[in-house]
DNA sequence: ACTCCATTGCACACCGCTGTGCAATGATGG
DNA sequence: CCATCATTGCACAGCGGTGTGCAATGGAGT
């Protein structure tokens, strides 16, 4: 049964709600305080401290969860024998509906958490760099930038497109896919074909 | 004569030093306080308040100056009859050595200054959007994104490349030019040719 | 009905940053 | 040499966010 008050919710229910809301709130404004997060979660500030002793703990947990989810998508989509192009297309398709959810990671890279977040994002960075490297080796992606940089730039670009009003919708997904493929050095004709599901 | 202490400097000398340093410091960390800016400028916090009554005033002045400089470059490089491709190449070439100087503008777009900075950046946004629009109309740029969005994404991408370790140097400039052209929908062969100065 | 326990609603101290006031200092320019 | 004035050094109040303590509340499961 749905309870309107937050009184009778199970521990994990509240905890997850806080985490989810924080993902959203901090995505919009990385400087949001515990108070903002609490009220957005329909909970009192004191309650948040009951689940996360420190703001830093909240953020770290948040980032860990988000990174875990992205890595999951990535390992699910990326197979050594698949073409890097196709993997990237699938990756963007899977990420696009959840851009809002992971915006916080970009916002966190620069911010009071210097090394903390950087080492936390390392898995994602590594997989992405490897993927782009493979694409370059097989001639699918361009060599105008080293794989490590190109992957980051392409990744950031998808977020950039989402930030500029195209977040969520299907047309946005197609545009983001094509644009990021162009950036990666895929010719326009092939990029549109890939974005429309042709192998 | 060069004075090592900050005592005998003229008013504008100190003022400009503060502005320059603040441009740099806030570029790295938008949340830096007046104390950080002051000490980085080799000056006491109190002195900064002597020139800028409020942190907000400092930031506004900063942004105005930066926007002014960018607009100057833009109007100098952009002529209605020039090909959008060429204009973009020149724009990146002129901006690249000063990326660090204007990073703050990107950092400021999201941050406690919501509308304030947005209206301040409007001139740049408008010119850039117009430029890309022209490129699209003449078939030089792609139509995978509306001009307003595409210009922003291309603009942001140049900063993104600079942020990923390639800032400053000449090879970075070439890479940034090519990459942003690809993103704008220019074919790879033409992009490299343009980046190497062929019309 | 009764017990558990998450949540609530205060209370508080602490900290860092902002912005201000004022007297002292010392380089600069006449 | 002297007056000017930017800079300095300190003191202070205020604000907002953090993190903690504790008693009261009210669902939920038994």
Does the CB of A29 fall within 7 Å of any strand D atom?
no
- Do B67 and B45 lie in one domain? The reply is no
Do B41 and B94 share a domain, yes or no?
A: no
| A87 and A144 inside one domain | yes
**pTM of the entire predicted model:** 0.92
Which residues of B fall within a CB distance of 8 Å from A187? 187-188
Q: Looking at the structure, do residues A136 and A155 belong to the same domain, yes or no?
A: yes
In angstroms, rounded to a whole number, what is the distance separating the alpha carbons of residues B42 and A98? 45
Clarify whether residues A96 and A48 are in a common domain: no
Is the domain of A182 the same as that of A101? yes
Q: How many helices (H) and strands (E) does chain B have?
A: 10, 0
A 16-35 residues with CB < 8 A to B: 29-31
Give the whole-angstrom CA distance, residue B152 versus residue B70.
Answer: 14
pLDDT in tens, chain A (199 residues): 434 577 766 778 999 999 999 999 999 999 999 999 999 999 999 999 999 999 999 999 999 999 999 999 999 999 999 999 999 999 999 999 999 999 999 989 887 887 889 999 999 999 999 999 999 999 999 999 999 999 999 999 999 999 998 888 889 999 999 999 999 999 999 999 999 988 7
Cβ of A39: how many Cβ atoms within 10 Å? Answer: 15
* Same domain? A78 vs A109: yes
Split into its structural domains, chain B has a count of: 2
Helices (H), B138-168: 147-161
Q: Are residues B29 and B127 in the same domain?
A: no
CATH number, domain of A109, equals 1.10.357.10
Domain limits for position B6: 1-53
- CATH code for position A38: 1.10.10
A6 in the same domain as A71: no
B70 and B130 assigned to the same domain: yes
Helix, strand, coil percent content, chain B, rounded in steps of 5: 75, 0, 25
Count of CB atoms situated within 10 Å of the CB of B34: 17
Q: Tell me which protein residue sits closest to nucleotide C29, measuring alpha carbon to C1'.
A: B8
Instruction: List the B47 CA – D30 C1' distance (angstroms).
Output: 69
Å between A2 CA and nearest CA of chain B: 36
- Counting beta carbons within 10 angstroms of the beta carbon of residue A97, is it exposed (0 to 12), middle (13 to 18) or buried (19 or more)? middle
* Chain A residues touching residue B165 (CB < 8 angstroms): 149
- Contact, A33 CB vs strand D, < 7 Å: yes
Q: Is B27 exposed, middle or buried (0-12, 13-18, 19+ CB in 10 A)?
A: buried
Same structural domain, B72 and B98? yes
């Amino acid at each position: 049964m749905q309870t309107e008050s937050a009184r009778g919710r199970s521990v994990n229910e509240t905890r997850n709600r806080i985490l989810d809301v924080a993902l959203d709130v901090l995505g919009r404004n990385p400087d949001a305080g515990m108070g903002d997060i609490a009220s957005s979660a329909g909970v009192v500030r004191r309650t948040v401290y009951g689940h996360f002793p420190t703001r830093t703990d909240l953020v770290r947990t948040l980032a860990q969860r988000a990174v875990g989810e992205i890595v999951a998508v990535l390992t699910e989509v990326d197979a050594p024998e698949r073409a890097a192009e196709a993997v990237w297309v699938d990756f963007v398709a899977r990420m696009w509906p959840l851009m809002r959810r992971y915006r916080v990671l970009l916002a966190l890279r620069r911010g009071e958490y210097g090394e903390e977040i950087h080492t936390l994002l390392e898995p994602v960075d590594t997989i992405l760099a490897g993927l782009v490297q493979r694409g370059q080796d097989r001639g699918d992606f361009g060599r105008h930038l080293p794989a490590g940089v190109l992957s980051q730039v392409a990744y950031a670009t998808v977020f950039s497109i989402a930030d500029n009003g195209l977040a969520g919708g299907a047309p946005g997904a197609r545009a983001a896919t094509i644009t990021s493929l162009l950036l990666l050095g895929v010719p326009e004709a092939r990029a549109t074909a890939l974005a429309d599901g042709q192998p």
